[in-house]
Copies of this chain bind each other. A is one copy, B any other.
Amino acid sequence: SDAYSLLILPGDGIGPEVMTEVVKVIDWFQANRGMSFDVSHDLVGGSAYDVHGVPLADETMAKAQAVDAVLLGAVGGPKYDNLDFSVKPERGLLRLRKEMDLFANLRPAQCFDALADFSSLKRDVVAGLDILIVRELTSGIYFGEPRGIHDDDNNPDNEGGRVGINTQRYTSGEIRRVARSAFELARRRGNRVCSMEKANVMESGILWREEVQWVHDNEYPDVELSHMYADNGAMQLVRRPQQFDVIVTDNLFGDILSDAAAMLTGSLGMLPSASLGAPMANGRPKALYEPVHGSAPDIAGQGKANPIACILSFAMALRYSFDQGDAAAELERAVEQVLADGVRTPDLMGAEGGTPVSTAEMGDKIIAAL
CA gap between A354 and B233 in the complex, in Å: 30
A268 to chain B, nearest CB (A): 8
Contact A161 B167, beta carbon cutoff 8 Å: no
Stoichiometry (number of copies) = 2
Given A85-B203, A201-B94, the answer on whether A159 and B176 have CB atoms closer than 8 Å is yes
A282: interface (CB < 8 Å): no
**Given A120-B122, A120-B240, A239-B263; A202-B166 close (CB under 8 Å):** yes
A18 part of interface (Cβ distance < 8 Å): no
Contact segment of A25-33, A204-212, A342-350, A356-364: A204-212
Query: What's the tally of chain A residues with a CB closer than 8 Å to chain B?
Result: 70
Pick from B148, B157, B164: contact of A208, CB under 8 Å: B164
A42 CB within 8 Å of chain B: no
Q: Are B255 and A198 in contact (CB under 8 A)?
A: yes
Interface of chain A, helix or strand or loop or mixed?
helix
Does A160 make an interface contact (CB < 8 A)? yes
Assembled-state Cα–Cα distance A238/B200 (Å):
26
CB pair A159–B173 under 8 Å, yes or no, is yes
Asked if A253 is an interface residue, CB under 8 A from chain B, the answer is yes
A256→B230 contact, CB < 8 A: yes
**Quick check: is A1 within 8 A (CB to CB) of the other chain?**
no
Residues of B within 8 A of A202 (CB): 141-142, 147, 164, 166
Partner of A234, one of B175, B205, B259: B259
Interface core residue of A169, A253, A260 (most chain B CB under 10 Å): A260
> Is A90 part of the contact surface with B, judged by Cβ < 8 Å?
yes
Kindly state whether residue A51 has any CB partner on chain B within 8 Å.
Answer: no
Measured in the bound complex, the distance between the Cα atoms of B257 and A204 in whole Å is 20
Residues of A bordering B, CB below 8 Å: 76, 85, 88, 90, 94, 120-122, 125, 141-142, 144, 147-149, 152, 155, 157-176, 198, 200-208, 211, 214, 230-232, 234-235, 237-240, 252-253, 255-260, 262-264, 268
Contacts A88-B200, A141-B168 aside, 11 further interface pairs with beta carbons under 8 A come to A120-B238, A141-B202, A152-B171, A159-B173, A160-B175, A230-B256, A232-B259, A235-B260, A235-B268, A238-B238, A260-B260
Top 10 A-B pairs, shortest CB-CB distance: A160-B172, A164-B207, A164-B204, A159-B173, A234-B260, A238-B263, A231-B259, A235-B263, A158-B173, A166-B168
